[in-house]
Chain A
């Protein structure tokens, strides 16, 4: 039964439509479970709260079942045969995220933690190939991204500090200066905070010109990594297809060879059978010849015996006649 559950849960891109169907079902349930968050509490009137409540119970329970299923077969998923695989499961990242997303709905956490329900979005992303690529990119490029991130943060801090020094009356406090630097350098620019003096405008222009390059670096690294992942996946799929075709050809060749071999064996068996038949016929003929010669010999013997008996009886008869004559 655990194997059946594992086949259902594992991610697959083959023709396993049951597993694919289950993946889509869980994604749909996760999406439906966060839909009530899109409606304001003040707009939830009439039958709405009851419907939402029922929807919440059903979807949370289905997600809970998925959590338990994954726990039951974690030894298959992780490839670890030991009992410790089941002990480790609750501490794996996805299990923690899944549990945190369910706890507010079962009342273990207070109303302030309801926002954790948004973590169910990871359930949808978990089955998304693009999300997997992103995770791989962040994993592979984490050192570079961290360095670039630190440079970007340092630049924002520096820009905010310079601006705050030359225009202290524009900003209520340093946090506002940081807010301005972030929105300006990321090109968001809300326009709620802006430099008012000419020196401040000059600083803003210079920091924006150089800052664009710094802020854009992470995007470039992530994009390049993403394209690499997609290319690698395509190559892997191409190799898999080639190897599958090769396997099919080899299999066909093996089957043809074995059929020929089988045909040859059948021919040799028939030949052997024929030879055996002819041997048997030859033996039978020999036997019948011997038999007939034996019979002939027997007949000759019988006739000799008969002749000798006749001769003996004839002689005995003559002897008796001679004896009678003498008398």
Chain B
């Protein structure tokens, strides 16, 4: 299998996955985003740079067709996922499942932090996900400061999000044929 074809197909599928899964999650009202599934998949199957590019293309689409340039800042969260999944899940260049719990935990923490900062800056603490906002409001009702209430709502949803994305990525990786997973060196002329 030509390496360029492999990269192009997996990255294209990853971009679609990000969009489709997030639309499905929103449509059914799940407490999930799932908008970084493709990013994580590319980073794991191909390399971290592929995940970074998938996140970039995804953010570009959102900036042009959904929101505006301010969504560019959320690329920080995508980039964090790509680097954590692509680098963290590898040891000596090989994927290792043993690192998944630590990588998942770190992803939850970093994404919660970044998303909270973005939310505070863009909307003053009003979360964009219904579940996040509901949890945030409950925390506010208990007298928690806005920043930490927002962080709490984001954190809970991110835990479910990261667990679901991890399972999805593992399932897709398991389904993928072997020749799609190999990270062999490209032959001269490819």
Contacts and interface: CB of A to CB of B under 8 A. Distances in A.
Interface stretch (B62-70, B91-99, B128-136, B144-152): B62-70
Nearest to A53: B68
A68 B63 contact: no
Given A68-B52, A72-B49, A57 B63 contact: yes
Interface string A43-68: 00000000000101110110011001
Contact of B56 (A57, A65, A108): A65
A57 B66 CA distance: 12
Interface size class of chain B, counting residues whose CB lies under 8 Å from the partner chain: 20 to 34
B30 interface: no
Contact of A105 (B49, B59, B60, B69): B69
Main secondary structure of the interface of A (DSSP, over half): helix
Contact of A57 (B7, B52, B69, B79): B69
Interface residue SS majority, chain B: helix
B72 interface: yes
- Which interface class (under 10, 10 to 19, 20 to 34, 35 or more) fits A? 10 to 19
Contacts, number: 42
A5 B64 CA distance: 24
Contacts of A2: 49
A106 B64 contact: no
A89 B169 CA distance: 31
Most buried by A among B49, B56, B72, B79: B72
B34 interface: no
A1 interface: yes
Contacts of A15: none
10 contacts: A58-B64, A60-B69, A61-B63, A61-B69, A61-B72, A64-B75, A68-B75, A105-B69, A106-B72, A107-B69
Interface of B: 7, 46-47, 49-50, 52-53, 56, 59-60, 63-64, 68-70, 72-73, 75, 79, 121
Can you list the 6 inter-chain pairs with the closest CB atoms, starting with the nearest? A106-B69, A1-B49, A107-B70, A106-B72, A2-B49, A57-B69
